[in-house]
Amino acid sequence: MMNDKDLRQQAYQAVEKSLETAQEDTYRQGFHMTPPVGLLNDPNGWIQWRGKYHMYFQWMPFHTGHGAKLWGHYSSDNLVEWKLEPIALTPSDWFDKNGCYSGSAIDHNEKLKVFYTGNVRNGKGDRETYQCLAESDNGIDFVKKGVRVELPEGYTAHFRDPKVWNYDDKWYMVVGAQTLDKEGTVAFFESEDLQEWTHKGNLAGPVNGLGYMWECPDTFQLDQQDVLIFSPQGVKAQGIDFNNQYQTGYVIGKIDYENGKMEHGSFTELDRGFEFYAPQSMVDEKGRRLLVGWMGVPDQGEEHHPTIKHHWIHNLTLPRELRLEQGKLYQLPVEEMKQLRLKQLFEHEVEAEFSQSIARTSELVIETGDSLDHLELKLFDFLTLSYSKADGYVTLERPNLASGEPESRSCRLIEGIKYVQVFIDRSSVEIFINKGKEVFTTRMFADPEERLLKVKQKGNEQLKLTAWELKD
């Protein structure tokens, strides 16, 4: 085990050594949070505190694989420009020596407090897990307070990712877990003082067919309904659903805080694209429920990302505002994203076909009439989004990162396609359909020189296409 000072020093040396290589990458993102070097995965400790937005993240600075994670840190005043801050947590103690794993932040008694998982491999190579507390007076420097929750009976050591919130003057915590029968579930705890925690059972799960481990639970209230987002592993693909290696989705219902149980409906995928996982949400000072996810999926072709040659991999998604409409979670890019617009490139009525070069960091908006029969959007000769009224399918296709063979993800829209907003960064797209009803989040490793956008449509109405170049 290395001490905090040495770990920090080595991490900063790793950054110094590879930063230029990472920044020279033509796939380096323009306006998404990326690791300076190394690997980034889950968003952590997402909070607006004393006016500032803080996003901590799972970070492996020493190489582009997983391992004993640190907490990296970005901050922002406006959700658009992000500043890389000093490392928040290092795996330097007996209770977190193999990784300061994912966790969440709260504001309490003038302090920013984070609960996170201390991942430990003991002498026999077995996993141990501790839910730990660390506190900060300024959001930058943290003092570890040690273990607050030990593994309760009834679970394997796959027990991690505490999310803490306040309700009716008490504190609650959910932890992603696995039962002894190897089924995914969410453990539920209650506390009066954030020190002593009582295990109240499983808030939700296991659910037949919903996998062997639920990671990164996130519980909140929206429009008087309770929502639980989590990332189950081991769910089998069913037609157009659950096609990624691991899933992320949500259930809606009602939490019975007394008995520690949530009655809920069925599990719905949150994002329809190739890369989306382990999102975290919080309420900001404007009262919005904002969500950010990891634009990656564990064990899903990470070794084939071309950015590895440049000593970095992965990024976070744009912040999205969540809304609940008729039992469905909508995700909208936050309105602050408009500040990214550098200049309008064009506004065009597309009658049948249109092609035009655009910037590699751009935003597109497509507005259509109701009677559109067919839509096709082709980006940089790499990604194709298509919609057909005949069956209501929206499909996103790209070449598989390993084989180059086409692969696709789909969803169904019975009401037709009316509004499409696309954020293009150098190596990703986020496609928001019908004002956030469906979202496709995907990495895009097109030829960096490619600039061509092609749009085709069939139907009676005209289609308005607007494009902006975005700042990066």
Binding of ligand FRU at residue 316 (CB under 6 A)?
no
Measured in whole angstroms, the distance separating CA 156 from the mean position of its chain's CA atoms is 25
> CB of 14: closest distance to ligand FRU in angstroms?
17
Q: What is the DSSP string of 183-233?
A: -EEEEEEEESSSSS-EEEEEEE---TTS-SEEEEEEEEEETTEEEEEEEEE
Q: Which of residues 258-277 bind ligand FRU (CB under 6 A)?
A: 277
Cβ proximity to ligand FRU: between 58 and 219 the closer is 58
Q: For residue 256, what is the DSSP state?
A: E
Residues 6+ apart with CB under 8 A from 108: 194
Of 53, 71, 101, 214, the one binding ligand FRU (CB under 6 A) is 101
Binding of ligand FRU at residue 314 (CB under 6 A)?
no
Binding of ligand FRU at residue 159 (CB under 6 A)?
no
Cβ proximity to ligand FRU: between 298 and 369 the closer is 298
CA proximity to 307, closest of 38, 15, 33, 43: 38
Is 373 catalytic? The answer is no
CA proximity to 157, closest of 172, 179, 174, 190: 179
Minimal CB distance residue for ligand FRU: 101
Of 41, 307, 410, 421, the one binding ligand FRU (CB under 6 A) is 41
Going through 51-126 in order, the beta strands assigned E by DSSP cover 52-60, 70-76, 83-84, 100-108, 111-121
> CB of 216: closest distance to ligand FRU in angstroms?
6
Of 117, 202, 317, 441, the one binding ligand FRU (CB under 6 A) is 117
Q: Which of residues 276-295 bind ligand FRU (CB under 6 A)?
A: 277-278
Active-site option among 25, 42, 271, 425? 42
Cβ proximity to ligand FRU: between 133 and 278 the closer is 278
Residues contacting ligand FRU: total by CB under 6 A: 14
Interatomic CA distance for residues 222 and 262, integer angstroms: 15
Interatomic CA distance for residues 68 and 98, integer angstroms: 4
Of 28, 32, 54, 69, the one binding ligand FRU (CB under 6 A) is 69
Of 102, 185, 386, 410, the one binding ligand FRU (CB under 6 A) is 102
> CB of 101: closest distance to ligand FRU in angstroms?
3
Residues 6+ apart with CB under 8 A from 21: 37, 310, 311
> CB of 232: closest distance to ligand FRU in angstroms?
11
> CB of 429: closest distance to ligand FRU in angstroms?
22
Q: Is 205 exposed, middle or buried (0-12, 13-18, 19+ CB in 10 A)?
A: buried
Strands 70-76 and 52-60: antiparallel
Structure tokens at 310: 């440049």
Of 42, 183, 321, 425, the one binding ligand FRU (CB under 6 A) is 42
The answer to whether 161 and 173 have CB atoms below 8 angstroms apart is: no
Binding of ligand FRU at residue 100 (CB under 6 A)?
no
Q: Which of residues 346-405 bind ligand FRU (CB under 6 A)?
A: none
Binding of ligand FRU at residue 160 (CB under 6 A)?
yes
> CB of 450: closest distance to ligand FRU in angstroms?
31
Long-range contacts: 199-208, Cβ < 8 Å, 24+? 199/152, 200/259, 200/260, 201/259, 201/260, 201/261, 202/177, 202/260, 202/261, 203/174, 203/228, 203/255, 203/260, 203/261, 203/262, 204/228, 204/251, 204/261, 204/262, 204/264, 206/179, 206/181, 207/267
Cβ proximity to ligand FRU: between 216 and 411 the closer is 216
Cβ proximity to ligand FRU: between 305 and 360 the closer is 305
Binding of ligand FRU at residue 298 (CB under 6 A)?
yes
Cβ proximity to ligand FRU: between 253 and 298 the closer is 298
Q: Which of residues 215-244 bind ligand FRU (CB under 6 A)?
A: 215-216
Residues that bind ligand FRU (CB under 6 A): 41-42, 58, 69, 101-102, 117, 160-161, 215-216, 277-278, 298
* Residues carrying an active site annotation: 42
